[in-house]
Structures are given as C-alpha cells and as structure tokens.
Structure 1
C-alpha cells in the first residue's frame, strides 16, 4: 500500500508507539486521524484528534462516521494489567480481552466498510511476541494477544476480497510507558518499530517481526512449549 496520500486512523495515538506511528505516517505523506479516549491529550501537530474508545461501541461508530475517508486503520490501542489467568482478578482478565481483542475486532468491523468504500487499503494490528509465547505471569495479556493474532489471520482472509490487506506487527518490550518497569537494555526504540511497521505495510507484508526476540520465538513455534 502506498502511504503517500493515504488517510490513516491510528488508535492510541496520544503516546508511545501510536504517537510515533502517527508522526511517521505524516512524514510519509499521509493524512492522520489520531484517535484516543481523550482526544485533548493528542499533542502532535498536523493530525486530526479523534475521540475513540475501543471498548465503547458508540464511540467507535461515531469515529467511523467522522473518519469516513479512511484508507488505513492501525489498531494500536492496548492495555496490560499484569494479571495471571488463574490467580488474577477476573475483571482485569476481562478488561484485557475487551481492550486487546474485542476492541480491535469492533474497530475493524466498523472501519472495513469505510476503507472498502474508499477503494480499499489496509489494516495493521499491533500485536506482541506474547501472541506466541505465554508466560504465566502475563497470562491475561498473552491470551488476549493470542486471540488478536487469530483475529489478524482470519480477518486477512476475510477482507482480502474486499481490497483490504491485513498485517500484524509483532514485537517484544518497547521503551514506552507500558514497559516502564523493564530495564532499558531489554527494550527496543518505538520509533524504529514504527518505521519497520510502516515499511511493512508499504511492502504488503502479512507479518512484521520488529526485533530479534520476536524473530527467535517465531522460529521456535514448531518446537515443544518448553523449548522457547
């Protein structure tokens, strides 16, 4: 997909990776709707702030009506509660699924007709190495991202006849607020991840593996669960 003159909607664009994606999309010549639950927190010059809460169906429908010229959807908004699946709070587990799986699903369902009506385009889902690697301590996050991986693959097949390509971005820890407690040496630069993601969209890649940890885990999928 050519990003110059594309019209992009980026969820969670007020900080972290989403802000980098929005900024770099503009640098590549796209028009950008920077979506956030609180659009007043969007401080990136040149974008159009857009209210969108991925857990609120009415706000999603309203955003799709506003961004009716969209040709690219970036499902970036996400949450990590750190809840394990068995011992964790059921409300936190449910929040992770609502935000990281049902949210992107609802946004994609709302924007697919928009993108199709504008001649087709693309969807990028921001996923995680934990789509494939499932540590107990981050069980709810991993489960939600694994579900979002399945969503990405199924949506790719379903939307292809409608002229919409679907890509998944897979990455480990990034230097963002979500990974604030992780040592710096274990985190990658979100600006570099954003650049890889956008180049992957332009190249039509179905999977974008943004760091060596993710590439290693992907290679290990055919081995036993303990091998990764």
Structure 2
C-alpha cells in the first residue's frame, strides 16, 4: 500500500497528531487528503479538503463516507482522554471515553468499509496506546477504552481481510499534544509518531510499536500480572 496517489481521510485532523498525519500524507504524494473535524473551519492546513465529522454520531460518519467515497486510506486518529477512573469517576465521562475511543472508531470502520472495498481494499490505521495493555494508575477509563479498541482492531482486521483491506494498529506512549498538556511524562514528538504510522501503512504492518515505551512493554504481556503491576506486590 503506497500513499503516493492514494486518497486519505484523517479524523481529528485540525490539530495535534492528526494534523501531522494529514501533512505527511500530502508530503508522501497523496492525491487527496480529507481533514475531518467536528469544526472543519478550524482546519488550517493548506492542500487538504476539510470535512465535517463527529465520529460519535453514526449518521455523521455515514455522511462523511458518502462525501468521501473515493477514500483508500482511513486513519482513525480522533480520541479523547477524560482522566476518569472506573470506580469513582463520573459515569458520563467513562461513557464519553468509550463513545469516542471505541464506538467512534467502530462507526468509522463500519461507514467506510464498503468504500474501501470498492476502491480495491486500501488500509485502515487505528491509533491505540501502550495503555491498551496496562492501566496507568489513573484515568483507567481511557485504558479500558483503548484495550477495547485494540480488540476491535484485531476483530475488524479479520472481518475485512476478505475484501483486501489491511488494518494496522499503531501503539503509542505519551505524545506531546494538547491531550497531555500539563501532564509530566515522557512524550514523543507527534511528527515522529505520524511518520511511524504512515510507514506501517506502506509496509503492510499489522502492528506498529511507535516508540521505545511501547516496544519495551510489549514483551511483558506474557508476564504474570505481578510483573506488570509491581505496585500491587
């Protein structure tokens, strides 16, 4: 799958990592890049085609798919972090995490799968997290939603294989965007993460570990939980 000549749609493309995905897709020769956002007027990247989209609304996703029926690459970047915990957190915030990070991604996959199939198969990139594999000690709703999104990615990869659609999961640690503003943590450059994701699409990778944090943690998945959560020992 080459991005040169492709038609790319990026969700949450008005800022942060999504803006880097859109800009780099253009640099790699994409014939068209749809920059999707709830407020398309906030998209300020030259060369893209702004597109109104609320991924939590299936009707909005369907309207976007009708307007962008030529898409060959779908990048599910849009997400939210409320930092809500599961036991004591606001249930509305927990539901918001799942409505955006899980059901929003699913809405997009379901809406665009027919177009991708009709256009030769194409590719989907889902932005996941190292927190798909480990709860961090705070904001467990986000980790739960990203774990569900990891399983979603594995499931739709199997379901779409017959139509030739390659589904890639991009796992990242902390990224220096507005989502983590004010949070003290090791943060990767969003441009580097976008580059790793686009490289994964072009190489046909099923999974991309975009930084050292995720690469170091992935081998621990087979370990006893006491290794993954030493604070409980």
TM-score, normalization: structure 2? Answer: 0.96
Deviations 1:168-191 (A, max 9, x none): 00001001000112337x111000
**Within 1, Cα distance between the matches of 2:210 and 2:225?**
22
C-alpha contact 1:85 1:136 (8 A) present in aligned 2: no
**Within 2, Cα distance between the matches of 1:195 and 1:18?**
11
Q: State the shift of 1:136 in Å.
A: 3.8
Q: State the shift of 1:110 in Å.
A: 0.3
Structure 1: segments with no counterpart, 5+ residues: none
**Within 2, Cα distance between the matches of 1:127 and 1:41?**
24
Deviations 1:157-212 (A, max 9, x none): 1101111000000001001000112337x111000111111011100011100111
**Within 2, Cα distance between the matches of 1:83 and 1:182?**
15
C-alpha contact 2:57 2:107 (8 A) present in aligned 1: no
Q: State the shift of 1:119 in Å.
A: 1.2
Give the structure 1 partner of residue 85 of structure 2.
Answer: 84
Structure 2: segments with no counterpart, 5+ residues: 229-233
Give the structure 1 partner of residue 126 of structure 2.
Answer: 125
**Within 2, Cα distance between the matches of 1:217 and 1:11?**
27
Deviations 1:77-134 (A, max 9, x none): 0000000011000000000000000000011000000111111100000011000011
Indicate whether 1:190 and 2:190 are aligned: yes
**Within 1, Cα distance between the matches of 2:226 and 2:50?**
45
CA-based RMSD of the aligned residues comes to 0.9
Equivalent residue runs for 1:156-195 within 5 Å: 156-183=157-184, 186-195=186-195
How many residues matched? 227
**Within 2, Cα distance between the matches of 1:225 and 1:15?**
36
Indicate whether 1:207 and 2:207 are aligned: yes
Give the structure 1 partner of residue 59 of structure 2.
Answer: 58
Change (3 A) 1:139 1:183: closer
**Within 2, Cα distance between the matches of 1:194 and 1:99?**
20
Q: State the shift of 1:217 in Å.
A: 1.3
Q: State the shift of 1:10 in Å.
A: 0.4
C-alpha contact 2:53 2:64 (8 A) present in aligned 1: yes
> What SS does the corresponding residue of 1:55 show, helix, strand or coil?
coil
**Within 2, Cα distance between the matches of 1:6 and 1:191?**
20
